[in-house]
Amino acid sequence: MGDRSIDITVAVLTLSDKGAKGERKDDSGLLIQAMLKDIKAEIKYYDILPDDKQLIKEKLIEYTSRVDLILTTGGTGLSPRDVTPEATLEILDRQVPGIAEAMRSDGLKITKRAMLSRAVAGVRGNSLIINLPGSPKAVKESLSIIIDVIPHAIEKIKGDPSECAR
């Protein structure tokens, strides 16, 4: 990112059947919100939805007309109800595979289970969408890896013409 800083508007979307029913506290969604304070981000929307592909797609589409960054948590594993990556892929204009690759690559240094993540990232319109894992520990590890790149990515998506090289 250049010398200037930008305000980033954010939506946090937690995908959890139990969370949507009020049967589980959303520690991951709350952790995301706390971590975003480091990059001058303003949380505009925060929702908890069940693991329903159509509902997820509709909410992602709604958010993309309202915010710069959408972070999802949950639904990226191998359970039959884990459909976040599929919902995300169906609404993206362009993928940004390096983000998910970086999270998995660094995650593998901590646990071999990181290779089981199916998280994706990409752009729809002028919004960056990133799938994060569901557990607070994995959210912290994954978001820590990519958080410094997010402001630059948002600048580029918004049309910043400056060179990426340092």
Q: What is the pLDDT of residue 166?
A: 59
Q: For residue 82, is pLDDT > 90?
A: yes
Residue-level pLDDT at 4: 47
* Three-state secondary structure call for residue 150: helix
Contact 10, 39 (CB under 8 A): no
Three-state SS for 98?
helix
With residue 42 as reference, give the H or E element that holds it. Answer: strand 41-49
Check whether domain 8-157 has CATH 3.40.980.10, yes or no: yes
- The β-bridge partners of 47 are 13
Domain parsing of the chain, residue ranges: 8-157
How many Cβ atoms sit within 10 Å of the Cβ of residue 148? Answer: 11
Q: pLDDT tier at 134 (50, 70, 90 boundaries)?
A: very high
pLDDT at 5: 55
* Contact (Cβ atoms closer than 8 angstroms) between residue 116 and residue 77: yes
Q: What is the pTM of this model?
A: 0.94
Taken in order 161, 4, 38, 165, the sign of the CA dihedral is: positive
Check if the beta carbon of residue 47 is closer than 8 Å to that of residue 108. Answer: no
Backbone angles phi, psi at 162, to 5 degrees: -70, 160
The yes-or-no verdict on residue 60 having pLDDT over 90 is yes
Q: What is the mean pLDDT of the chain?
A: 94
